[in-house]
Structure 1
Amino acid sequence: MIDIDHLRRWIGRSEEQSELVTDSLIGRFNATFDLEGRPRDGDAAPVMIHLCLAPPAAPTSGLGPDGHPARGGFLPPVPLPRRMWAGGAMRFHDDIRVAERVTRRSTIRDVTVKEGRTGVLCFVTVDHRIESAGRLVVEERQDIVYRNADAPGGAKRTPEPAPHGAHRVVVQPSAPLLFRYSALTFNGHRIHYDTPYVREEEGYPGLIVHGPLQATQLVQFAEKISGRRPARFEFRSLSPLFDIADYTLNAVEDGEGLRLWTSYADGPVAMEARATW
């Protein structure tokens, strides 16, 4: 039983974290995503680097058996075992630059409970305001969903295969790629790097591709197609991707922007998104 009145007491709670943007961090980010360039002080950092800055740093002794920090603290102590990044939106105002200090102020906006196909779902909405050297650079909304441990990967159904985008590239979700992104974001969740755990304890067929990793690849894809960083990016996760097969990044022109999605070659849409300028 979820005590929603208790959990909603977390609404309005805030925390602030900051980190200096170093050339070595940018170098590791570029290496992870096969981006070229040797960063120097004052250079614009790559888009989506903000997801790798000032991550929560719980002591190892404070992690649960799944590698996540223990419940409570900034995020409400939702009594459901599975937690996923369900979606969100980002507005990019300016570039983060190498050698600047980035500060992120996070605030719990809302906590709601709904009934889904797999049972009770609890959604926590978090707003982030990110400044670099005192300039507002990114405003972000994150939607986090908690659910029960049964029916891993969602309800048993046969969704329609995703279409092929006018722009399309293939991605190999290698174990080193997933491990490197976990390291960049200081994410200890074992579903991204511990194959025996994810199969035997969580019931998934393979390592799960991070939602933020997919979002980063889609933003980079949009930037490559248009030649410039989007002003706004919205996304929603629909189904998981695993390291058991390659997946694709897809995009089609959509009015003043791009409609984007990830999927297996003949699988359903995993993440859908829209980028606008």
Structure 2
Amino acid sequence: MIPLDLDHLRQWIGREETRAERLTAAIAARFNATFDRPEAPSEGELAPSLIHLCLAPDTAPTSTLGPDGHPARGGFLPPVPLPRRIWAGGHFRFHENIRIGDTVTRRSVVRDVTVKQGRSGPLCLVTIEHRIDSGGALAVTERQDIIYRGAGPAAAPSGAPSSATAEAAPQGRYRQAVEAGPALLFRYSALTFNGHRIHYDAPYARAEEGYPGLVVHGPLQATLLLQFAEALRGKRPAQIGFRGLSPLFDTAGFTLHAQDEANTLRLWTAAEGGPVAMEARAEW
């Protein structure tokens, strides 16, 4: 068992990082192509929601990446000694629009580091807060939850039902099928400059991390759910929160589900016959 020195890891609380990148029409065109959106973006137009997740990524040299394809820890993120990293969820609040041609600046701070006991051993939860400015104005505030766990068979985040015991997801009033093939996952990894091998290296995902196939990115699912919510209500919500419950794989397609609840829309993803993978709640 890998020891976790929580006092040492909590020294990263308050650590800050700032990155910026200009959102060009070319980046927006690649985003739209990845998500099969027909729009041909132009300078000055409104940018697609959550495209900021594709901007100003960590540009660590390839030679410094770990065996899983992630940059080495201990810079901005705490040096958690657990080998597996999961995007466990988060929350987005939208303030102003991002426009194509704007310089988008992300100011990030580590807000909390906690440790808990999961089914397969200790888990470390790191909470990060992002402030996204576009053209000098606050556009998005974001909370990002990252879970680190030990090696071994894939497991759901702590507190979530395991895929082996969970009930099949319910059917939403609104549904949209998604084909989660390797091309989609590879393109999204390229858009976000994400080297995590579970999303594009099937032999590694199976042999090293115990997954049955490539893993569908959490932020990719979040983007699809937000696009679904926008299409159903005709406009972007004021805020939306996400929580990952179980992984999705490229071994089968999955479905976006939505259900009306007063002034909110409850959304979730699930493979055919499988449990809820990611749940979300959008508010207008």
TM-score, length-scaled by structure 1? 0.98
User: Within 5 Å, which residues of 2 pair with 1:10-89?
Assistant: 10-89=12-91
**C-alpha deviation, 1:71, in angstroms:** 1.5
Does residue 138 in structure 1 map to residue 140 in structure 2? Answer: yes
Match of 1:269 in 2: 276
Does residue 100 in structure 1 map to residue 102 in structure 2? Answer: yes
Q: Distance in 1 between matches of 2:7 and 2:219?
A: 30
Match of 1:3 in 2: 5
Match of 1:241 in 2: 248
Q: Which of 223, 236, 242 is the equivalent residue of 1:229?
A: 236
Q: Distance in 2 between matches of 1:223 and 1:177?
A: 21
Aligned length: 277
- Contact 2:163-2:246 within 8 A present in 1 as well: no
- Contact 2:163-2:274 within 8 A present in 1 as well: no
**C-alpha deviation, 1:246, in angstroms:** 0.8
Q: Which of 210, 219, 242 is the equivalent residue of 2:217?
A: 210
Match of 1:127 in 2: 129
Q: What do residues 166-208 of structure 1 show as CA deviations (whole Å, max 9, x unaligned)?
A: 0001111011100000000000011000111111111110000
- Contact 2:153-2:211 within 8 A present in 1 as well: no
Q: Which amino acid letter does the alignment assign opposite residue 164 of structure 1?
A: Q
Change (3 A) 1:210 1:156: closer
**C-alpha deviation, 1:151, in angstroms:** 2.9
- Contact 2:163-2:275 within 8 A present in 1 as well: no
Deviates more, 1:240-249 or 1:35-44: 35-44
Q: Which amino acid letter does the alignment assign opposite residue 174 of structure 2?
A: H
Change (3 A) 1:184 1:156: closer
- Contact 2:86-2:146 within 8 A present in 1 as well: yes
Deviates more, 1:148-157 or 1:199-208: 148-157
Indicate the SS of the match to 1:215: helix
- Contact 1:238-1:270 within 8 A present in 2 as well: yes
Q: Distance in 2 between matches of 1:222 and 1:7?
A: 37
Indicate the SS of the match to 1:262: strand
- Contact 2:65-2:72 within 8 A present in 1 as well: yes
Indicate the SS of the match to 2:44: coil
The percent identity for this pair of structures is: 64
TM-score, length-scaled by structure 2? 0.96
Q: Distance in 2 between matches of 1:156 and 1:3?
A: 30
- Contact 1:153-1:204 within 8 A present in 2 as well: no
Q: Which of 165, 180, 188 is the equivalent residue of 1:181?
A: 188
**C-alpha deviation, 1:254, in angstroms:** 1.1
Q: What do residues 218-237 of structure 1 show as CA deviations (whole Å, max 9, x unaligned)?
A: 00000000000111000100
Q: Distance in 2 between matches of 1:35 and 1:55?
A: 23
Q: Distance in 2 between matches of 1:205 and 1:157?
A: 13
Match of 2:175 in 1: 168
Q: Distance in 2 between matches of 1:146 and 1:153?
A: 11
Query: Which segments of 5 or more consecutive residues in structure 1 lack a partner in the other structure?
Result: none
Q: Which amino acid letter does the alignment assign opposite residue 101 of structure 2?
A: A
Q: Distance in 1 between matches of 2:104 and 2:91?
A: 19
- Contact 2:127-2:143 within 8 A present in 1 as well: yes
Q: What do residues 71-128 of structure 1 show as CA deviations (whole Å, max 9, x unaligned)?
A: 2100000010000011110001111101110000000000000111221110000000
Indicate the SS of the match to 2:80: coil
Q: Which amino acid letter does the alignment assign opposite residue 87 of structure 2?
A: W
